[in-house]
Structure 1
Amino acid sequence: MLVSDKVRSPCVSVCALDANDVCIGCHRSGDEIMRWTQMTNDERRDVLKKVAERERGSLL
Protein backbone atom coordinates (compact mmCIF):
# COMPACT_ATOMS: atom_id res chain seq x y z
CA MET A 1 0.00 0.00 0.00
CA LEU A 2 1.31 3.42 -0.89
CA VAL A 3 1.57 6.09 1.76
CA SER A 4 -0.85 8.19 -0.29
CA ASP A 5 -3.46 5.40 0.01
CA LYS A 6 -3.51 5.47 3.82
CA VAL A 7 -6.31 7.31 5.61
CA ARG A 8 -4.67 10.40 7.06
CA SER A 9 -4.65 11.32 10.71
CA PRO A 10 -7.04 14.07 11.81
CA CYS A 11 -4.27 15.57 13.99
CA VAL A 12 -4.19 19.37 13.93
CA SER A 13 -1.17 19.70 16.27
CA VAL A 14 -3.31 20.88 19.19
CA CYS A 15 -2.58 17.97 21.50
CA ALA A 16 -4.26 17.97 24.89
CA LEU A 17 -6.58 15.37 26.38
CA ASP A 18 -9.67 16.55 28.24
CA ALA A 19 -11.19 14.96 31.35
CA ASN A 20 -12.83 12.30 29.13
CA ASP A 21 -9.46 11.28 27.57
CA VAL A 22 -10.41 12.92 24.25
CA CYS A 23 -8.01 15.23 22.42
CA ILE A 24 -9.34 18.78 22.19
CA GLY A 25 -7.66 19.18 18.78
CA CYS A 26 -8.51 16.05 16.79
CA HIS A 27 -11.30 14.57 18.97
CA ARG A 28 -9.70 11.12 19.13
CA SER A 29 -9.43 9.21 22.38
CA GLY A 30 -6.02 8.59 23.88
CA ASP A 31 -6.32 4.92 22.89
CA GLU A 32 -7.26 5.80 19.30
CA ILE A 33 -4.25 8.13 19.06
CA MET A 34 -1.87 5.46 20.37
CA ARG A 35 -3.21 2.74 18.06
CA TRP A 36 -3.57 4.91 14.90
CA THR A 37 -0.37 3.76 13.18
CA GLN A 38 -1.32 0.07 13.60
CA MET A 39 -4.92 0.47 12.38
CA THR A 40 -6.20 -0.65 9.01
CA ASN A 41 -7.83 1.93 6.75
CA ASP A 42 -11.25 0.53 7.68
CA GLU A 43 -10.48 0.95 11.39
CA ARG A 44 -9.27 4.49 10.74
CA ARG A 45 -12.48 5.33 8.88
CA ASP A 46 -14.49 4.05 11.86
CA VAL A 47 -12.47 6.30 14.16
CA LEU A 48 -13.04 9.27 11.85
CA LYS A 49 -16.81 8.69 12.08
CA LYS A 50 -16.54 8.78 15.88
CA VAL A 51 -14.36 11.89 15.63
CA ALA A 52 -17.05 13.65 13.56
CA GLU A 53 -19.71 12.74 16.13
CA ARG A 54 -17.55 13.96 19.02
CA GLU A 55 -16.76 17.18 17.19
CA ARG A 56 -20.44 17.86 16.53
CA GLY A 57 -21.21 17.14 20.19
CA SER A 58 -18.54 19.55 21.37
CA LEU A 59 -20.07 22.38 19.33
CA LEU A 60 -23.44 22.13 21.11
Structure 2
Amino acid sequence: MTTAPSPCINWCDINPENGYCRGCYRTLNEIADWSDMTNSEKLEVWAQLSIRKPQAPQ
Protein backbone atom coordinates (compact mmCIF):
# COMPACT_ATOMS: atom_id res chain seq x y z
CA MET A 1 0.00 0.00 0.00
CA THR A 2 1.29 3.44 -0.93
CA THR A 3 1.27 6.19 1.65
CA ALA A 4 -0.63 9.35 0.72
CA PRO A 5 1.86 12.07 -0.25
CA SER A 6 1.99 15.42 1.43
CA PRO A 7 0.04 18.14 -0.38
CA CYS A 8 2.75 20.66 0.52
CA ILE A 9 3.92 22.83 -2.38
CA ASN A 10 6.50 24.74 -0.30
CA TRP A 11 4.42 27.92 -0.14
CA CYS A 12 3.62 28.17 3.55
CA ASP A 13 1.40 31.10 4.46
CA ILE A 14 -1.52 30.71 6.85
CA ASN A 15 -4.59 32.74 5.91
CA PRO A 16 -5.74 34.44 9.15
CA GLU A 17 -9.33 34.57 7.89
CA ASN A 18 -9.84 30.80 7.65
CA GLY A 19 -6.73 29.22 9.22
CA TYR A 20 -5.75 27.33 6.05
CA CYS A 21 -2.35 27.37 4.41
CA ARG A 22 -2.58 29.30 1.14
CA GLY A 23 -0.31 26.75 -0.53
CA CYS A 24 -1.80 23.39 0.49
CA TYR A 25 -5.03 24.35 2.29
CA ARG A 26 -4.22 22.36 5.43
CA THR A 27 -4.59 23.71 8.96
CA LEU A 28 -1.55 24.23 11.19
CA ASN A 29 -2.54 21.14 13.18
CA GLU A 30 -2.80 19.03 10.02
CA ILE A 31 0.60 20.26 8.86
CA ALA A 32 2.21 19.59 12.26
CA ASP A 33 0.59 16.16 12.67
CA TRP A 34 1.05 14.96 9.06
CA SER A 35 4.02 12.66 9.75
CA ASP A 36 2.15 10.98 12.63
CA MET A 37 -1.15 10.51 10.77
CA THR A 38 -2.29 7.17 9.47
CA ASN A 39 -2.75 6.78 5.74
CA SER A 40 -6.53 6.87 6.26
CA GLU A 41 -6.26 10.16 8.15
CA LYS A 42 -4.10 11.63 5.37
CA LEU A 43 -6.66 10.58 2.78
CA GLU A 44 -9.40 12.26 4.83
CA VAL A 45 -7.39 15.51 4.81
CA TRP A 46 -6.83 15.15 1.04
CA ALA A 47 -10.60 14.80 0.58
CA GLN A 48 -11.14 18.12 2.37
CA LEU A 49 -8.58 20.09 0.35
CA SER A 50 -10.69 20.47 -2.79
CA ILE A 51 -13.55 21.79 -0.64
CA ARG A 52 -11.27 24.29 1.10
CA LYS A 53 -9.53 25.51 -2.04
CA PRO A 54 -11.23 28.55 -3.53
CA GLN A 55 -12.86 27.75 -6.83
CA ALA A 56 -11.72 29.74 -9.84
CA PRO A 57 -14.47 31.84 -11.42
CA GLN A 58 -15.96 30.29 -14.54
The TM-score with structure 2 as length reference comes to 0.85
Unaligned runs of 5+ in 1: none
Distance 1:49 1:12 in 2: 17
Taking every aligned residue pair, what percent have the same amino acid on both sides? 35
Paired position in structure 1 for 2:43: 45
In the alignment, does 2:32 pair up with 1:34?
Answer: yes
Structure 1 CA distance for aligned equivalents of residues 55 and 37 of structure 2: 28
Structure 1 vs Structure 2 CA RMSD: 1.4
Residue in 2 that maps onto 1:59 = 55
Question: 1:59: how far off?
Answer: 2.2
SS at match of 1:26: coil
Structure 2 counterpart of 1:29, one-letter code: T
Structure 1's consecutive aligned runs of 4 or more residues displaced over 3 angstroms after TM superposition are none
> Which structure shows the bigger proportion of residues in helix conformation?
1
Q: 1:25 aligns with which of 18, 23, 26?
A: 23
5+ long unaligned stretches in structure 2: none
In the comparison of the two structures, how many residue pairs are matched? 55
One-letter code aligned to 2:38: T
1:15 aligns with 2:20: no
TM-score (norm 1): 0.83
